[in-house]
Structure 1
Amino acid sequence: MLRRHRSALACALLLALTACTGGSGDSGGPEGAAGGSATTSSAPPPRKVYVSVGDSYATGFRPPVGGQRGGSSEDAFSHLVAERADLRLVNLACSGATSADLVGGADCTPGNRALDAPETAGRTQVDAAVAELEASAGQVGLVTVVIGGNDLIPCASQPQQAVVACATQAVTRIKANLATALPKLRAAAGDAPIVGLTYPDVFLGAWVNDEVPGGQRLAELSVSLFRDFFNTSLKAEYDKVGARFVDVTEATGAYRPLAELVPDPVHGQIPGAVATVCELTYFCELTDVHPKPAGHEVIADGVLRASGL
Structure 2
Amino acid sequence: MATIGASSVFACPIPPPAPEYYLALGDSLSVGAQPTSDGNLIATDRGYVDRLYTAQQHVRPRLQLVKLGCSGESTTTMLSGGICHYGGAASQIDAAVNFLATHRGSVRLVTLDIGANDILRCAKNASSIDATCAQSGLRDIAANLPVITARLRVADPAADVRFAAMDYYDPFLAASLLGPEGQSAARASLQGADIANTLLRTVYSRAGFLVTPVASGFATHDTTPVPVPGVGELPRNVATVCQLTWACTPPPTGPDIHPNDAGYQAIAEAFANALGTATHK
- TM-score interval for Structure 1 and Structure 2 normalised by the shorter chain: 0.7 to 0.9
Secondary structure of 2:256's aligned partner: coil
Report the CA distance between 1:68 and its aligned residue: 10
Report the CA distance between 1:209 and its aligned residue: 4.7
**For each residue in 1:216-259, what CA deviation from the matched residue of structure 2 results, as whole angstroms up to 9, or x when unmatched?**
112112223223x11110111112221111121111111112xx
Per the alignment, residue 115 of structure 1 pairs with none
Per the alignment, residue 68 of structure 2 pairs with 92
The equivalent position to 1:201 in structure 2, one of 159, 170, 185, is 170
Distance in 1 between residues matched to 2:12 and 2:232, nearest whole Å: 66
8 Å contact kept, 1:60–1:72: yes
Considering only CA atoms, is the larger Rg found in Structure 1 or Structure 2? Answer: 1
- What is the correspondence of 1:203-282 to structure 2 with a 5 Å cutoff? 203-209=172-178, 214-227=181-194, 229-257=195-223, 260-282=224-246
8 Å contact kept, 1:146–1:198: yes
Per the alignment, residue 74 of structure 1 pairs with 45
The equivalent position to 1:297 in structure 2, one of 261, 265, 274, is 265
Report the CA distance between 1:108 and its aligned residue: 0.6
Report the CA distance between 1:41 and its aligned residue: 7.3
Distance in 2 between residues matched to 1:36 and 1:68, nearest whole Å: 62
Relative to its length, the structure with more strand (as a share) is 2
Distance in 2 between residues matched to 1:207 and 1:159, nearest whole Å: 11
Report the CA distance between 1:80 and its aligned residue: 1.4
Amino acid at match of 1:284: C
Amino acid at match of 2:206: K
Which segments of 5 or more consecutive residues in structure 2 lack a partner in the other structure?
A: 58-62
User: CA 1:222/1:68 → structure 2, altered by over 3 Å: closer, same or farther?
Assistant: closer
- What is the correspondence of 1:117-128 to structure 2 with a 5 Å cutoff? 119-128=86-95
Amino acid at match of 1:138: G
Per the alignment, residue 59 of structure 1 pairs with 31
Report the CA distance between 1:34 and its aligned residue: 10
Secondary structure of 2:35's aligned partner: coil
Report the CA distance between 1:70 and its aligned residue: 4.3
8 Å contact kept, 1:98–1:151: yes
Distance in 2 between residues matched to 1:124 and 1:160, nearest whole Å: 32
Per the alignment, residue 131 of structure 1 pairs with 98
User: CA 1:162/1:293 → structure 2, altered by over 3 Å: closer, same or farther?
Assistant: closer
The structure, 1 or 2, with the larger RCO (C-alpha pairs under 8 Å, 6+ apart) is 2
Percent sequence identity over matched residues? 31
- What is the correspondence of 1:10-159 to structure 2 with a 5 Å cutoff? 29=3, 32=5, 36=9, 42=14, 44-65=16-37, 70-86=41-57, 87-106=63-82, 108=84, 119-157=86-124
Report the CA distance between 1:288 and its aligned residue: 0.7
Report the CA distance between 1:159 and its aligned residue: 12
